[in-house]
A and B are shown apart, each in its own frame.
Chain A
């Protein structure tokens, strides 16, 4: 694509966002929405910048990020591990497949109360919930990538003297990397969503908690701030993952 085409796309894409902001401002200015319910965009963004520079808000962000990453990491380790194992080992496959079929469509958030009872109301229950939700896309993508590795790649490695066990890490894992990273991307977005929701349901800190507190005190401005924050966080993390993906997959042809 030419640079001109790309910049046209970007310009075009910004239009709805700009329109939305204008609409927002319009609703407030022309009195269609009371400022207590719908604060003007300028005010919201000022508030956002304001709060971002306060230490307390940064701590909230830190708490959310910590749970997000911890849960995501657990999901990656378990998901890739189990996915790989199920792809290369028949007995593991036989056990894992039916369990995943049963557990995958289950709304994991329903497990939250159980996690609260088991792990308490602190970090652990939220981290486990994030992990439980992010696990399945990663597991399934890993399984898919690992089980569709080109047979001749494996044979080439075996002929070169690689042991069957080493083949899993030296061939299957790298060959499945594109699939695994796609699953991780989905898992990351899910982690953002779930951590925020868990904090909204029960928490004493974190961005979700900030939202709920603001709701209880009917502070509309303060409700927008954490929402925008999590949206920006999600976008940034996604962007970082994309960069990582481009680097790791630099040898792979584009699908």
Chain B
């Protein structure tokens, strides 16, 4: 039997969305500011954006770059993080370097990178790659570090080589933590993508956003905000589903900076 309580808690995020939109609607009517359209007006502008072929191609190209940057980052960062987690020297070697890079906003590297390798796909993908790498390395590192020594000893006793132990014991054991890092990385990928487009101003969702701002098309501005927001929420939700599937054996994790899981 599904109780009323269950239905409410399942629908809560949706209700929250509607609630926020409602607050927006009321707020904008109260503000009576020309530059702040109501929620309904913004929503109505969305189909126009989605229908615009060029804009759509633009956005999809951005997403493609994001996907490539994310994938490569994950493929390279996880092994590095795992190695750092199990080997003190590797950790000591890379740690300071990473700590120095951490507070630098990767999107801020856009101008320099563009100066070096031009304004094509590579520069944008590179920036996304850098942005995603750090959290994934860090979480892989933490996850690998936390693997109990005794598990590895059991593996060694069973005849597994060091490399096999890494892949067959450390990797699965650290997987929950690694996936937390990937989730952070995904959020950062989207943010880095949008931000670098706002800075580099050539194509993509961030660019459309600021173009509309410059041209005074405020409906479009807010419509794009909703679109980008929706993208963020969808990716996160999809990733959560994937994560739950992959590590359903693990104890509930707390994703510190992210959200209630």
Contact = CB atoms under 8 A, between A and B. Distances in A.
Do any beta carbons of A and B sit within 8 angstroms of each other in the complex?
yes
B256 A182 contact: yes
Given A38-B116, A104-B258, A113 B213 contact: yes
Interface residues of A, number: 65
Nearest to A148: B254
Contacts of A48: none
A136 B257 contact: yes
Contacts of A212: 111, 199
A45 B170 CA distance: 42
Interface in B210-240: 210, 212-213, 218, 221-222, 224-225, 228-229, 232-233, 235-237
Nearest to A12: B92
Given A186-B256, A215-B115, A231-B100, A101 B16 contact: yes
The B interface is mostly helix, strand or loop, or mixed, namely helix
A94 B103 CA distance: 34
A20 B191 CA distance: 28
Contacts of A105: 187, 232-233, 235-237, 258-259
Interface string A9-31: 10011111100100000000000
Contacts of B112: 215, 220, 223-224, 227
Interface in A68-121: 94, 97-107, 109-114, 116-118
A189 interface: yes
A98 B99 contact: no
A110 B105 contact: no
Contacts of B116: 33, 37-38
Contacts of A116: 213
Nearest to B188: A107
A220 B113 CA distance: 11
Interface residues of B, number: 62
A211 interface: yes
A136 B256 CA distance: 9
Nearest to B31: A118
Contacts of A141: 256-257
Interface stretch (A57-65, A157-165, A195-203): A195-203
Contacts of B95: 13
Contacts of A14: 96
Nearest to B116: A37
Given A192-B103, A235-B100, A97 B260 contact: yes
A101 B255 CA distance: 12
B222 A114 contact: yes
Interface string B1-43: 0000000000011011101100000000000010110000000
B153 interface: no
B194 interface: yes
Given A99-B20, A109-B198, A16 B104 contact: no
Nearest to B94: A16
A114 B221 contact: yes
Interface in B237-261: 237, 254-260
A110 B194 contact: yes
Contacts of A110: 194, 209, 224-225, 228-229, 232
Contact of A107 (B35, B190, B257): B190
A140 B257 contact: yes
Interface of B: 12-13, 15-17, 19-20, 33, 35-36, 88-89, 92-97, 99-105, 107-109, 111-112, 115-116, 187, 190-191, 194-195, 198-199, 209-210, 212-213, 218, 221-222, 224-225, 228-229, 232-233, 235-237, 254-260
Given A106-B228, A114-B36, 16 more contacts: A20-B97, A97-B12, A104-B258, A105-B187, A105-B235, A107-B187, A109-B195, A113-B213, A140-B255, A144-B254, A193-B103, A197-B107, A200-B107, A201-B195, A201-B210, A230-B104
